[in-house]
């Protein structure tokens, strides 16, 4: 059992995952405090995205513990895991997965629905202002630029004030200028709630933005 510490938002111990009993990923101990930024980097095929899906509770490890805000999510099952994930973990996927039939506002608030949390219109307003998407709330995602869609995805990830924000290759398809903008947005999003931010990427440019780093 890992020691309790209210400042530690994410911590892992002896984490491993196996694909088809052939590819084995053994991960180092990971620790990320409240308000801290951590970069997990390495080349493709080294298990970065797998790690992120483990930390998000989407995959289950073969061995080890994953504590999110002092709760071992590997011990949670079914509905309890879904609810806890929705309340405590914000996830910005590489593919944004916005629902084209819904407005931007409803895409963001869908995270509240799935986490069974009451909609906080004041928080929606504050996040929209912070990420500069207030004027986009009534639009459909397919009418937004890629950069605008990315802002919406970040807003959706933080609407429930998560303890941990996870981002999967957030700059991989972006040029230098837009890469810097996305990292600024993630940093701004974390400052709203003093959230722990963990980014996985093979993009060397991110190393300039995040001092704390782990190589896979």
Can you give the pLDDT at residue 192? 83
Is the pLDDT at 160 greater than 80? The verdict is yes
Strand partners, 170: none
94 sits in the region (left: phi over 0; alpha: psi -120 to 50; else beta) called alpha
Q: 8-215 in CATH: which number?
A: 3.40.50.300
Confidence of residue 4 (pLDDT cuts 50, 70, 90): low
What pLDDT band is residue 5 in, cutting at 50, 70 and 90? low
Least confident interval from 6-15, 49-58, 131-140, 165-174: 165-174
Binned at pLDDT 50, 70 and 90, residue 1 comes out as very low
Average pLDDT on 147-158 reads 90
pLDDT at 62 (0 to 100):
94
Share of the chain above pLDDT 90, in %: 56
Residue count of the chain, please give it: 216
pLDDT given for residue 180 in this prediction: 84
Which band of pLDDT confidence, cut at 50, 70 and 90, is reported for residue 128? very high
Q: Give the C-alpha separation, 58 to 49, whole Å.
A: 11
Q: Decide if pLDDT at 163 tops 70.
A: yes
Rg of the chain's alpha carbons, rounded to an integer? Answer: 17
- Segment 166-174 shows an average pLDDT of 83
Residue 2 pLDDT > 70, yes or no? no
Mean pLDDT, the chain, as a whole number? Answer: 89
Give 87-121 pLDDT, tens digit per residue: 999 999 888 889 999 999 999 999 998 888 888 89
Q: Using one digit for the tens of pLDDT, what is the confidence trace for 30-83?
A: 999 999 999 999 888 888 989 999 999 999 999 999 999 999 999 998 889 998
């Amino acid at each position: 059992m890992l020691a309790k510490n209210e400042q530690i938002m994410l911590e892992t111990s002896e984490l491993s995952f196996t694909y088809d009993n052939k590819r084995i990923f053994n991960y180092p101990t990971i620790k990320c405090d409240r308000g801290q930024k951590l970069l997990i980097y390495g080349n493709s095929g080294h298990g970065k995205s797998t790690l992120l899906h483990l930390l998000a509770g989407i995959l289950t490890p073969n061995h080890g513990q994953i504590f999110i805000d002092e709760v071992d999510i590997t011990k949670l099952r079914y509905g309890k895991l879904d609810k806890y994930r929705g309340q405590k973990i914000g996830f910005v996927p590489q593919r944004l997965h916005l629902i084209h039939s819904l407005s931007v506002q409803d895409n963001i608030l869908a995270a509240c629905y799935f986490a069974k949390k009451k909609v906080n219109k004041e928080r929606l307003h504050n996040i929209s202002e912070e990420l500069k998407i207030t004027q986009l709330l009534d639009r459909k995602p397919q009418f937004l630029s890629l950069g605008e869609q990315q802002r919406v995805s970040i807003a959706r990830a933080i609407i429930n004030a998560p303890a941990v924000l996870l981002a999967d290759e957030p700059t991989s398809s972006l040029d230098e200028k837009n890469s810097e903008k996305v990292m600024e947005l993630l940093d701004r999003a974390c400052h709203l709630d003093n959230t722990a931010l963990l980014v996985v990427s093979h993009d060397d440019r991110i190393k300039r933005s995040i001092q704390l780093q782990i190589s896979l």
